[in-house]
Amino acid sequence: MSGQLIGTGGDDGGLARCACGALAAGPCARCRVPLCGDCCVITQHGAQPWAICRACERRGGRSLRSAWAGLLLWLGGGLLALAALVLLLAWWARG
C-alpha cells in the first residue's frame, strides 16, 4: 500500500445526478434539470435534436414552440392590463 487511497468517501466531484439517481448525461433543453440517458426523450426541433425530460414532454409535447406561445400569452396579458388601466384613467378623468 504505497500512497494510493481507495474509496476516499463518495466524492462525486460536482457531477450532476438524474432524478432517478443515475449519473446525468446532460441537462434538459427546457427546464435544465440533469438527465441520464434512460430518463431523457430525444426530440427534433428544426435540424437539431434536443434531449428533454419526461415531465417537459408531457407538459409541452415534443416541440419547444410552447415557450413562444407562453411569451405571446404573457404579452397579450400585458396589453390587456394596459388597456384596462387606460380605460380606468379615462373614466377617472371624466369625473
- Which residues contact Zn ion by CB under 5 A? 18, 20, 22, 28, 30-31, 36, 39, 53, 56
Cβ(24)–Cβ(12) below 8 Å:
no
31/88 with CB nearer Zn ion: 31
42/93 with CB nearer Zn ion: 42
Helix (H) or strand (E) holding 50: strand 48-53
Grid cell at residue 33: 434539470
Number of neighbouring beta carbons within 10 Å of residue 52 = 25
28/43 with CB nearer Zn ion: 28
Q: How far is the CB of 36 from Zn ion (least distance, A)?
A: 3
Q: How far is the CB of 76 from Zn ion (least distance, A)?
A: 25
